[in-house]
Amino acid sequence: MTFKSKFIILTAVALAGLALLVFWPAKARTQVVIGDVKFDVRMAITPQAREQGLSGRTGLGEREGMFFVFDKPDRYAFWMKDMLFAIDILYIRDGRIVDMALNMPPPRAGETPAVHRPVESADRVLEVMAGTAQKLGWAKGTRVVCP
């Protein structure tokens, strides 16, 4: 094997390792439990993963979601840019739902995407299929077990 071939292979391996370190947190999965219902969620930890969110996806499973983790509580605004389906947005702080945006619709062609800012600060946000919160009887104060 020539020096050039070794260099190319080592460079490719190094770039793959770097990509894994940069993007792994954005693809991490965990579980969130609300009431007695478990949700398998993809975690949005990095700024890039938070910006992407569920944009461009065609849907979620019944017990799936996107889970956003922030360093400190604040009134983080969420919008429906490039969304293709409606969702419920749950704002969480100290293991409780503090606000909800229910049945947030995707934008129609040419329409400005809907935006929701919670009335209370939160440091965790969970997005699930629209109608889930109502179907499962969630309300402000409902207990949430999450990372």
User: Domains of the chain: which residue ranges?
Assistant: 26-145
3-state secondary structure of 133: helix
> Would you place residue 5 in the very low, low, confident or very high pLDDT band (cuts 50, 70, 90)?
low
Closest CA to 65 of 113, 98, 32, 95: 32
Alpha-carbon distances, residue 121 vs 65, 88, 97, 118, 142 (angstroms): 21, 17, 11, 7, 16
pLDDT in tens, 72-114: 999 999 988 889 999 999 999 999 999 999 999 998 888 888 8
Q: Which CATH architecture has domain 26-145?
A: Sandwich (2.60)
> Would you place residue 52 in the very low, low, confident or very high pLDDT band (cuts 50, 70, 90)?
confident
> Would you place residue 45 in the very low, low, confident or very high pLDDT band (cuts 50, 70, 90)?
confident
